[in-house]
Structure 1
Amino acid sequence: MDTTQITDTPPPAAQPTETEQKRAARGATRPGDRIFLGFSRGSGIFLLVIMAAIAVFLTYRASLAISKDHGNFLTTFEWNTGLQEPVFGIAVLAFGTIVSSIVAMAIAVPIAVAIALFLTHYAPRKLSGPIAYVIDLLAAVPSIVYGLWGALVLVPHMNGLFGWLDDYLGWTGIFSWQGGAPRSMLTVGILLAIMILPIITNVSREVFRQTPRMNEEAALALGATRWEVIRMAVIPFGRSGVISASMLGLGRALGETMAVATVLSPTFDIQASLLDPGGGTFAQNIASKFGEATEFGRDALIASGLVLFVITLLVNGAARAIIARRAEYSGANA
């Protein structure tokens, strides 16, 4: 008897029609998709227009003031816009802004990363929750409250620290102290570090939580300790996120106004020591002089604001370049 071999063959796949192919080629076909695409594209263009308008406004008003400046805008250690021949410059302001921000970042970033690692990989759930909640509350405190706390609590208690630094590190010149009021760049940097600590901690914590579980388990399977897991799996994965968090904190430190104006004793000179009172920042100078400034004085302050605007753009550009160079460690590519 003849036997036939029966084979199960899958049915042929349905071929897309010509209409479906055209729709796929066009991309979004539903009205909601087209509306969302147009809204997203328009939002991005609108943001660029706003940035360009700000840059044009600052440049125009700054050019009016700089054209009448009888000093060097970049190197003059003076700010007198009410004279018949006005003289003003940003040397002291640029130095104070950069130094105070560097001090704040040097203090805040290591502490913030350590807190984020503790909350995500060491602390029990019952403890990490309340600590994270308190840190979130610190991020919502207004800057003027930080400034009042700094002036009434922090400054009076800085004498002991300043004396210790002068005794053991005064030979460096950076930490020498002449016994004046501790309203200096170091005090400002410490206050700014406290203010930006919640921002860096919260973002870093969320980044570390996104570390793939299989990466950590693979490291543990190879015999790594908990710290080795963090060093080899968690930190490389979240490095770009920590950089982004640091840039967010740096942006606030660069533009902080009321807290710095409340704590610092502003003078238009550059102190070699971080402990000596004096100095100034862009934001503090604008806040303290804008109310009583003339029309020309406001243009001069806007010119200093343009420099701060450019510094912020450069900082963000540098952060993007660093992240791009470390793209292989980013969370998106892990």
Structure 2
Amino acid sequence: MEAEARALGFCAFGIASAAGDGDRAARLDAWLAAGMHGTMAWMEERAHHRRSPQGMWPEARSVVALGMSYAPAADPLRLAGESQVGRISTYAQGADYHDVVKKALKHLARWVVAKGAARGLGEVGVKVFTDTAPVMEKPLAAAAGLGWQGKHTNVVSREHGSWLFLGEIYTTLEFEPAVPGRDNCGSCRACQDACPTDAFPAPYRLDARRCVSYLTIEHKGPVPEDLREGLGNRIYGCDDCLAVCPWNKFAATAHTMKAFLPRAELTAPELADLLSLDDAGFRALFSGSPIKRIGRNRFVRNCLYAAGNSGRTALLGQVEALLGDEDPVVAEAAAWAKGRLVRE
């Protein structure tokens, strides 16, 4: 199965049991009880499914955990001081990973079913997931030996660093589980120190309410004012805690799927151009991109925060044009940005 998975573009492969894990479930419950999921209500609403694979599908016996590399060729932090442009997270500069990973997962799942039938195993059940289902992807990937959950809570691989898209196949087949990944973070705290909004109250613990990725992607309303400066010029997601991980020096861009290579227009987009986007322009620019799902209003809101942080009075014209925007969140962000730029 691993050879078939690699032929489909997966560079990381492992097997975990579908049975529950008390410690894993307890960590989830504690995180939710502390409210660290912010406005992501679905995390709490489907916690009973998320606690274990069998909590969602009792017939599941094994989890095939897989990873696709999106290791970047360029330094994700190179635009930190370029205030005239917006920074888009590496994972969102190419094709939508949901589509690419799920297509490969479905191919592999069909292969598993066919092999099971050929061996007389009867009807084999499979379900495939990547990101959008109530699945604890990162703990399962660690349990399957793909790596370990680092202090930034993301999976870290000795071979692929922090740059893995994850996917899972739940199956009724029972496979021998892999040896779980061993934590190799040691005393390093680079990811903790790199966070621009102090989203880590402790190592291995993320408060999504302060995370730039959450604030720019999942959070729908105004971003709290005390966190806006920390956004800098990040307009969709954040790579900082991943990019500084020392294990990335082993990540080979040769494993990166062509579909995930960055589109030229998304590597360093000018804020002046982005602030002028209407809904049609937004949809055209981000067709086939995961960015499309947050919509024009939330995206322009993010660009206005970046404009306010830029110190570039040349952006005042585009900012002022949005003061009367139909979306009140966009209009408020424009007023904030104008106040910052005029003050500068």
TM-score category of the 2 structures, normalised to the smaller one: under 0.3
* Higher relative helix content: 1
- TM value normalised by structure 2: 0.23
Normalised to the residue count of structure 1, the TM-score between the two structures is: 0.24
Larger Rg: 1
